[in-house]
Structure 1
Amino acid sequence: MKRRTTRYYVSGPNSLWQIYKTVSFWKVVKNFIIIQIARYTPFLGVKNWLYRTFLKMKVGEKTAFALMVVPDTMFPEKISVGSNTVIGFNTTILAHEYLIKEYRLGDVKIGSEVMIGANSTILPGVEIGDGAIVSAGTLVHRDVPAGSFVGGNPMQVIYTKEQLEQREKKESDH
């Protein structure tokens, strides 16, 4: 599945050099400060409040962002996370890509009861389905099917939802 991003072409210097033509300098400053506060805040409810209130992210109930998580600094409002999800330590969630001749923006949708392992990177325009598990250190460059277990760089499906259910059934039978 191709990522769902919108491309914006630029002329002249690379798109990152032209960043403040695409997003307000003051928005980036405010977002950066809020993200830095949230990265070090050990209070999960406070983090979620900061993200919802100041970054306009959609964050479900009882979702836990671990220490050092970095949501997109330029376009955090393009990120939504369901309920009872865990985002692991030092994970980066990007809703933008600044390239040489273009930049791309895409919504990131993370479902409910998702487990994202530490040090993962989620690229713009992907959806992670409900109940999915993303192994630590994974580059999420395409959609993750609901209930599946994925990992690696490049990301691969390790177990489908059905395979995981079969494994759990075998383990409970023993």
Structure 2
Amino acid sequence: MRRTERYPVKGANSLWQIYKTVSFWKVFKNTAIILIARYTPFMKVKNSLYRTFLNMEIGEMTAFAFMVVPDIMFPEKITVGKNSIIGYNTTILAHEYLIQEYRIGDVIIGDEVMIGANCTILPGVSIGDKAIVSAGTLVHKDVPAGAFVGGNPMQIIYTKEEMEKRNRENF
């Protein structure tokens, strides 16, 4: 089970009530910063924008590829370790708005993690150090450190121990 806080709503669906949960001006500012960063080819500039204006925790030498979308409403709930790669067009969500409730959860991505292109990371998950997430994966649960995962739904393809064995055999 993902680690999210649940907030029930009454009446219209939770997304219809968005500005009761988060300030319009915060969403407006975050949207502008994310749009600028999505198209910025300079990693240091991107990371600086995310740290300064979105309050994201990002480790040194981490690279966000072209078109990555961090959560627009709660980017401060995202932590990425050092020397990680977030692949092209990946979306990192820290919220989900449902019909009768909305949920918010921290996303923690470890050190030296490789996330392939076109992934979606749902709120409340943790991706362990040195894990590899295959392109196109829906990360809906925690990823153990050193594991290689992929698919929709996400499955463990190789554990850390199996990956280490494969690496030893290939060298």
For normalisation by structure 1, the TM-score amounts to 0.98
| Alpha-carbon offset, residue 47 of structure 1 | 0.2
For the pair 1:114 / 2:113, whether they are aligned, the reply is yes
Number of aligned residue pairs: give it: 171
| Alpha-carbon offset, residue 171 of structure 1 | 1.2
- 1:162 alignment counterpart: 161
- SS, match of residue 97 in structure 1: strand
For the pair 1:45 / 2:48, whether they are aligned, the reply is no
Equivalent residues in 2 for 1:1-174, closer than 5 Å: 2-172=1-171
| Alpha-carbon offset, residue 27 of structure 1 | 0.1
Query: Among the aligned pairs, what percent are the same residue?
Result: 76
* Distance in structure 2 (CA, Å) of the matches to 1:152 and 1:136: 8
Residues 77-115 of structure 1 show CA distances to partners (whole Å, capped at 9, x for unaligned) of 000000000000000000000000000000000000000
The ranges of structure 1 where at least 4 consecutive aligned residues each deviate by more than 2 angstroms after the TM superposition are none
* Distance in structure 2 (CA, Å) of the matches to 1:8 and 1:74: 15
- SS, match of residue 74 in structure 1: coil
Residues 41-64 of structure 1 show CA distances to partners (whole Å, capped at 9, x for unaligned) of 000000000000000000000000
| Alpha-carbon offset, residue 170 of structure 1 | 1.1
Structure 2 counterpart of 1:71, one-letter code: P
Unpaired stretches in structure 1, ≥5 consecutive residues: none
What is the alpha-carbon root mean square deviation over aligned residues?
0.3
